[in-house]
């Protein structure tokens, strides 16, 4: 018994457990039970997946899709509101700019009118001073001309006395100056 060629070893007193070698899954006589268990496990997994897990997953997907669609709608609405507000702000800026230009033009006109009024007042004052100065000059000229006649008369009398040795009369001096 010690030297047997590659065969089965028989033990005395023990029954033979498996006569054929190999995996039991691959033996045709066990396939019927394996197919039943396969179908049973498939049905249970299909029922659990279709009734419990897949509705949760599809619900989560639908919830996310609805949230994304809502967010997109909110974003579009906010974008439209922002555009309306931007147009309103641009209109307000244009209106403010127009008001500022009008205010500046009004202030310029008021300042110009005030400057013109001040200039007219100053010109009138200067014209009055000029007229007064011209009157004083005329008076001074007339007075100076009066003094010139007297000085000329005296000078003519002195010249006549020096040349002739005789003093000229006032009537002669007056007649010579005219």
Residues whose CB is less than 8 angstroms from the CB of residue 173 and which lie 6 or more positions away in sequence, other chains included: 153, 156, 157, 160
Q: pLDDT band for 110, please (50, 70, 90 cuts).
A: very high
Are 136 and 157 a contacting pair, CB within 8 Å? no
Domain boundaries, the chain: 62-177
Burial class of residue 2 (count of CB atoms within 10 Å of its CB; 0-12, 13-18, 19+): exposed
Q: pLDDT band for 148, please (50, 70, 90 cuts).
A: confident
Query: For 17-64, what is each residue's pLDDT tens digit?
Result: 555 567 777 777 878 888 999 999 999 999 999 999 999 999 999 999
Q: Is the entire prediction scored with pTM above 0.85?
A: no
What tokens were used for 47? 């029922």
- pLDDT of 99 higher than 70: yes
Are 178 and 152 a contacting pair, CB within 8 Å? no
Q: What is the mean pLDDT of residues 115-129?
A: 93
């Amino acid at each position: 018994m010690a030297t047997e060629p590659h065969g089965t070893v028989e033990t005395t007193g023990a029954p033979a457990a498996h006569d054929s070698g190999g995996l039991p899954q691959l033996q045709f006589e066990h396939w019927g039970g394996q197919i039943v268990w396969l179908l049973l496990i498939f049905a249970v997994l299909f029922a659990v997946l279709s009734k419990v897990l897949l509705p949760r997953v599809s619900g989560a997907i639908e919830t996310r899709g609805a949230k994304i669609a809502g967010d997109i709608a909110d974003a579009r609405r906010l974008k439209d509101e922002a555009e309306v507000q931007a147009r309103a702000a641009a209109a307000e800026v244009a209106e403010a700019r127009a008001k500022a230009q009008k205010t500046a033009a009004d202030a310029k006109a008021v300042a110009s009118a005030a400057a013109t009024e001040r200039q007219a007042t100053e010109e009138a004052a200067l014209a009055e001073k000029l007229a007064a100065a011209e009157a004083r000059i005329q008076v001074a000229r007339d007075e100076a001309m009066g003094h010139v006649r007297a000085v000329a008369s005296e000078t003519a009398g002195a010249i006549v006395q020096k040349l002739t040795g005789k003093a000229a009369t006032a009537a002669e001096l007056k007649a010579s100056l005219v």
